[in-house]
Structure 1
Amino acid sequence: MPDTPYINIHTHQMDHTDGVISVLNVFPEKYMTIAHTDKLITVGVHPWHLEKKNADVNLELVKEFASKPNVMAIGEIGLDRAIKTPLNLQETFFTKQIEIAETYKKPIIVHAVRYFPELISIKKRVQASTPWLIHGFRNNMQIAQELLKHNCFISFGEALLFDQKVQNIFIEMPINRLFLETDESKHSIVEIYEKAASLKKMQLAIFKIELLKNYNTVFKKHI
C-alpha cells in the first residue's frame, strides 16, 4: 500500500517532490500554457489585480476554465483592506467568482486581510454551498472560531514554523477543518507537516491520513 501523500493545498511554485500532491495557484491568463494543463490548479482573480485593465477579461477566463477537471477550486480570491482598491470593487469581483464556484460546484480559496466580519457576512448572504478554504491564516482565535462556526476550512503555512500565536491557534483547531500550504514560502510542505504534527502531538503518519480525509471531503476525491 503506498504511503499517504502530503497535501499542499495552495502554492505558487511547482513542486515535483515524490509523495506530494500540490494544488498550484495559476493566474487565469496563464492557464492554457502547457506547463499547467496537466496540473492540479486553482484559478481566480486576486484582489491585488482588480484595477488592471484586463481584470474583466480574466474574470471571463475564470468562468471559462471553471469546468475543467484539473481546476480544483476558484482562487485565490477575496478581500484585502491593506490595498487601495475600493472595497466595493473587491466585493463585486469576489461575489461574481463565488457565483462561478457555485455554478460549477467548486470550492474557493480565500485571501482575506483585515476583512473577516464582512467576509462572513457575504458568506451568509450568498448562502454558499461549496466549501471555503481560508488560506495562510495568521489572525486571532476569535476570528478562527467564527470561521469554523460558519463551516470554513482553515489553511496554515510557514507561520507554523516560527509564530507562537499562530501555533497556539493551530493547536486548538479541530483536525477535520485543517489544511497546510507553502504559498510562496521557500520551506517545504514536508517541513510544515512535521511541525504541524508535532504541535498536535500526533504521529506524522496519522496526521497525514487526517488531512487526506479533508482533501477527499472538500474536493470529492478518493485517494
Structure 2
Amino acid sequence: MASIPYIDIHTHQVDSDQEILSIINMSIGESINELDRNQAYSIGIHPWDIEKLEIDSIDIYLKEFSANKSNIAIGEIGLDKLISTDFSIQEKFFTAQLQLAKLTQKPVIIHCVKSQEELLKIKQANETGTTWIFHGYNKSLQMAKDLLKFGFFLSFGENLLKNENLQKVFREVPLDKIFLETDDKQIDIRKIYQKAAEIKGIEIDVLKEQILLNYLKCF
C-alpha cells in the first residue's frame, strides 16, 4: 500500500481492497485456510461460542491458530450478560484467553455487553502488557472515560453514522485512542471514516494518519 490505508480493526468480511488494511475476526469452525496467507486475523472464543467447547480444550484450539504469523490479536473475547451461559464460566474462558494474550504478547479485542464493571475488575487482576480494544463502542461518555483511564482503545462502527449521542461521545475521545470497524455489517469502512472525520472536524487524511499511528503502536 503506497498511500495510508483505511484500517478496519475488526471485521467479519474478507475484502481484497488494496486501500483497506483489515483484521478478520475468526470464529470456531472457520478455517484460516480460507484466508490469503498474508491476511491479518484475530482468533478467540466469543462468549456466544463457549458452550461449543470445554475449557480444557482452549489451549489446543487457540495455540494452534495463534502461532500463525498472520494472527495478530486475541479476540473477540469477553463477557455478555444477555446470553444464557453462566457468567462465572464466561469469566473462566475470558481469563484463560487473557493468559494466552500475555504469553504471546498480542493485543486483545473485547466483546462486552452489560459487564463493564466486571471487565474493569478483570483487567486490574489480569494485565497482559498489551493493548485492549473495546470493539463496537456504543456506551456513555462516562464509561468511555473510565475505559480510557484503564488504558483501553475504543473502536467505533456503523452506529457512529446515525447515533447522535454516540457522535457526542466520539467527539470527546482523543484521536490517539480510537479505531474504526465494520464488524459484521455490509458497509464500506470509508463511509465510517468520512463520518468520523466530519464529527472531529478534521480531514480524512489526518484521521487515517492518526489511526495508522494507533495501529502501529498497538500491533
What is the TM-score with the length of structure 2 in the denominator?
Answer: 0.95
Determine the structure 2 residue equivalent to 1:47.
Answer: 47
Determine the structure 2 residue equivalent to 1:201.
Answer: 201
Provide, for residues 144-184 of structure 1, a one-character-per-residue CA deviation record: whole Å limited to 9, x for no partner. Answer: 10100000000000001000111110000000000000001
Root mean square deviation, CA, Å: 1.6
- Residue type at the aligned position of 2:152: C
- Residue type at the aligned position of 2:101: A
Matched, 1:170 2:166: no
Provide, for residues 21-52 of structure 1, a one-character-per-residue CA deviation record: whole Å limited to 9, x for no partner. Answer: 01000125424424354311000000001112
**Equivalent pair of 2:55/2:93 in contact (CA under 8 Å):** no
Distance in 1 (alpha carbons) for counterparts of 2:104 and 2:16: 28
Determine the structure 2 residue equivalent to 1:4.
Answer: 4
Identity %, equivalent residues: 39
Provide, for residues 97-129 of structure 1, a one-character-per-residue CA deviation record: whole Å limited to 9, x for no partner. Answer: 000000000000000000001101000011331
What is the TM-score with the length of structure 1 in the denominator?
Answer: 0.93
Moved runs in structure 1, 4+ residues, more than 4 A?
53-56
Distance in 1 (alpha carbons) for counterparts of 2:75 and 2:89: 17
Determine the structure 1 residue equivalent to 2:124.
Answer: 124
**Equivalent pair of 1:44/1:59 in contact (CA under 8 Å):** no
Deviation of 1:63 after TM superposition, in Å, equals: 2.0
Determine the structure 1 residue equivalent to 2:65.
Answer: 65
- Residue type at the aligned position of 2:163: D
Distance in 2 (alpha carbons) for counterparts of 1:157 and 1:129: 26
- Residue type at the aligned position of 1:134: F
- Residue type at the aligned position of 1:175: L
- Residue type at the aligned position of 2:154: I
**Equivalent pair of 2:133/2:152 in contact (CA under 8 Å):** yes
Determine the structure 2 residue equivalent to 1:87.
Answer: 87
- Residue type at the aligned position of 2:35: A
Deviation of 1:55 after TM superposition, in Å, equals: 6.4
Provide, for residues 65-114 of structure 1, a one-character-per-residue CA deviation record: whole Å limited to 9, x for no partner. Answer: 22321101000000001111111000000000000000000000000000
User: Between Structure 1 and Structure 2, how many residues are aligned?
Assistant: 219
Determine the structure 1 residue equivalent to 2:213.
Answer: 213
**Equivalent pair of 1:110/1:135 in contact (CA under 8 Å):** yes
